[in-house]
Structure 1
Amino acid sequence: MRRKSIVTGLLTALTVVIALIWVFPVYWMFNSSLLPNSVLQSTTPTFLPIGGSLDNFTAALADGTFFTALGVSLTVTLSTVAAVLIIAFLGALAISRFKFKGRKSFILALLLIQMLPAEGMFIAQYKMMSSVGLLNNLIGMTLLYTAAVVPFTVWMLRGFVAGVPAELEEAAMVDGLSRTQAFLKITFPLLAPGLVASGVYAFLQAWNEFTVALVIMTENQMKTLPLWLRGFVQASATRETDWGMVMAASMLVAVPVIIFFLIVQGKMSSGLVSGAVKG
């Protein structure tokens, strides 16, 4: 028992150390966002924001472009999440519940698509969006993000759907429910954690995406938050970089994601565990 307690204590200490290492960059970003540039450029690091202020945040928000970029990112991201969940959910149901010709080839194609480098499709995507007048357009950006995220999301949701026995629906139908009622009342609630986990994946992919937006969104008023943040670094390139302002801008980009995770963390954890059990 004593030996087991020692091992448990060592593993706990190791876990705490790993957690601190993982959290430190986030804390350092927050700490730096409150300090003036003169302090950040000092050879002696400052680990506590003593004497800090919100001046960097005020400067980052001064030109008002943050809220425009926030609106663009939220619109594209939420639209992408909604479209991805609907399409991927129906696709996962099809390949998990029905037998049809070409099913195995379709599943294999989902995996092969993920191997294609995104950079190799930039020219084709640009020409396609340009030909249909969807450059600098929220609908065009949403379509590209949806197409990029759907294959993996279908594969992810397939595991959740396969983990719910079809016999549950059949038993409900024996009790008098129609197939649609049995699905909505029995199967769908069991798939909710999987939908949340898949939605989180789609949200992060769309929110953090940079390269496609850089190619498609060229007008200032249509820039997403990653492009807005890049503009801060570029604006600082002609002079001494104001790292305090850059860190404050990074915090502003990260805050919506933190809020989103706080809202869905419970369902996301159960969803990830459920998806790992059977698929």
Structure 2
Amino acid sequence: MRTAHRTSLAARIGLPVAVAALLVFTLFPVYWMISTALDPNALTRGSDVLPSGFTFEHFEFVFDKGNFGKYLLNSAIVGLGTIVAAALLALFAAVAVARFRFRFRTSVLVMILIVQMVPLEALVIPLFIQMRDYGLLNSLLGLSIVYIALSLPFAIWTLRGFVVAVPKEVEEAAYLDGCSWARMFWSVLLPLVAPGLVATSIFAFITAWNEFIFAYVFMQNSEKYTAAVGIFQFAGENSTAWGPVMAASTLVTLPVLVFFIIIQRRMASGLAAGAIKG
């Protein structure tokens, strides 16, 4: 009895301790980033856990001197364009590979997996040459096209699983009720695969928002830089302005968190709508 009591007591104590340790491990980098961004002496902070004060001067600096508002706008344009185009193309491609039978269907799926496994660094030079030949270098449109191409393999493969999970009998029942394919797709299939569409949209947005290599290589004009590249300007060869770097990093992180919170609510509503429609 005493052994069982000790075991249960240790379990009750150990679980909260483990959860607290996990939260500290996960949230401490976020705390360090925000506190350093608000620390007036961020450059000389060292390893002090608590900041020396509280100021918004680093945020004012990145907007006034660093032109960071323009970079955030460029990232928003590229990110939203990537979400819309990648979600639409991936959805139609997923329906095609999941519902239709055609030659080389298996080969298409294998190619999608192979493309997803190619390292991004191996694609920089080929895509650079291709964008140069098309006259799309130093263009937000060209960068958006690249991000759409990078997001499609994962999006197609993920959405294919959602489409396959929808019983064909549901679609057939819609046809018997007189629905056209377009009406069935909009009123029946789309609500059922909405959670997968939301998940792929999150992936596409994060890919476009945080990507650095292609944005840095393709953009020759600083006015076309995205936010991820804009942070790089505060890092010097011999020293780094940690206050502006952390302030810019905070500004880059917040839209992703807000976007995820908004989309998470849509994901729950999509699940409920799919259950009702089914």
Query: Normalising to structure 1: TM-score of the pair?
Result: 0.87
Deviations 1:246-268 (CA, angstroms, capped at 9, x unpaired): 11111112121122122112345
Q: Write the distance in 1 (CA, Å) between the matches of 2:34 and 2:28.
A: 10
Larger CA deviation: 76-85 vs 10-19? 10-19
User: Which residue in the other structure is 1:185 paired with?
Assistant: 187
User: Which residue in the other structure is 1:144 paired with?
Assistant: 146
Q: Write the distance in 1 (CA, Å) between the matches of 2:224 and 2:56.
A: 27
Q: Secondary structure at the match of 1:232?
A: coil
User: Which residue in the other structure is 1:248 paired with?
Assistant: 247
User: Which residue in the other structure is 2:274 paired with?
Assistant: none
Deviations 1:122-169 (CA, angstroms, capped at 9, x unpaired): 222112111121110111111111111101110011111111111111
- Tell me how many residue pairs correspond in the alignment: 267
Q: Write the distance in 1 (CA, Å) between the matches of 2:117 and 2:47.
A: 45
Residues 16-95 of structure 1 mapped to structure 2, 5 A cutoff: 16-37=20-41, 41-43=44-46, 45-47=48-50, 49=51, 51-63=53-65, 65-95=67-97
Q: CA deviation at 1:180?
A: 2.7
Report the residue type matching 1:201 in the other structure. Answer: F
Deviations 1:2-55 (CA, angstroms, capped at 9, x unpaired): 656753653343233212211110111001111123x652455132x4631111
C-alpha change, 1:263 and 1:50, in structure 2 (3 Å) is farther
Q: Write the distance in 1 (CA, Å) between the matches of 2:134 and 2:165.
A: 41
User: Which residue in the other structure is 1:276 paired with?
Assistant: none
Q: CA deviation at 1:67?
A: 1.5
| Partner residue of 2:17 out of 10, 13, 22 | 13
What are structure 2's unaligned runs of at least 5 residues? Answer: 272-278
Q: Is the 8 A contact 2:58 2:243 kept in 1?
A: yes
Residue 204 of structure 1 pairs with residue 206 of structure 2: yes
Q: Write the distance in 2 (CA, Å) between the matches of 1:18 and 1:225.
A: 30
Q: Is the 8 A contact 1:81 1:203 kept in 2?
A: yes
Q: Write the distance in 2 (CA, Å) between the matches of 1:71 and 1:243.
A: 23
Q: Is the 8 A contact 2:192 2:270 kept in 1?
A: no
Larger CA deviation: 12-21 vs 250-259? 12-21
Residues 95-106 of structure 1 mapped to structure 2, 5 A cutoff: 95-106=97-108
Report the residue type matching 2:38 in the other structure. Answer: L
Aligned residues with identical type, % of pairs = 39
Q: Write the distance in 1 (CA, Å) between the matches of 2:77 and 2:259.
A: 15
User: Which residue in the other structure is 2:125 paired with?
Assistant: 123
Q: Is the 8 A contact 1:136 1:217 kept in 2?
A: yes
Q: CA deviation at 1:107?
A: 0.4
Report the residue type matching 1:265 in the other structure. Answer: Q
Provide the aligned C-alpha RMSD in A: 2.3
Q: Write the distance in 1 (CA, Å) between the matches of 2:199 and 2:47.
A: 42
Q: Is the 8 A contact 1:200 1:268 kept in 2?
A: no
Q: Secondary structure at the match of 1:61?
A: helix
Q: Write the distance in 2 (CA, Å) between the matches of 1:249 and 1:201.
A: 22
What are structure 1's unaligned runs of at least 5 residues? Answer: 273-279
Deviations 1:170-224 (CA, angstroms, capped at 9, x unpaired): 1222233333322322221111111111100000001111101111111111111
Q: Secondary structure at the match of 1:53?
A: coil
Residues 145-164 of structure 1 mapped to structure 2, 5 A cutoff: 145-164=147-166
